[in-house]
Amino acid sequence: HYDNEFLASKKIKAPIVDGQALGAILAEAVQDWLGPDSFITRLHFRFSAMVFAGETITCHGAVTHVEGNEITIELSMTAGDDNHLVLSPAGAQVRT
């Protein structure tokens, strides 16, 4: 991901952000949104594009179902000046 010579040989414009980091950012966004007492019981996402170092990442979410203290959320993540979709589909189950 970070070897400039390798990136140049593959015509990749910048270092690629590791997928685990994107998952952590998504989880942090959910917990920031729902508060410190929220607990993610399930988080799933599929990569649809690469994220490059220096790009701005934006997380989006919408509650799709509530049952008792369990919340189902539909999520996505966009990046870059063009706001291209990088994680979709994505979602979480959260206990509050």
Domain ranges of the chain: 4-95
Residue 51's CB is within 10 A of a number of other CB atoms, namely 24
Per residue in 22-35, pLDDT (tens digit) is 999 999 999 999 99
- CA–CA separation, 37 vs 18, rounded Å? 28
Q: Which residue matches tokens 């369990």? A: 70
Tell me the longest C-alpha to C-alpha distance in the chain. Answer: 53
Give the C-alpha separation, 15 to 13, whole Å: 7
Output the pLDDT for position 1. Answer: 64
Tens digits of residue pLDDT in 33-88: 999 999 999 999 999 999 999 999 999 999 999 999 999 999 999 999 999 999 99
Architecture of domain 4-95: Roll (3.10)
Statement: the pTM of the whole predicted model exceeds 0.85: yes
User: Can you read off the two tokens belonging to residue 54?
Assistant: 């220096």
Contact 77, 60 (CB under 8 A): yes
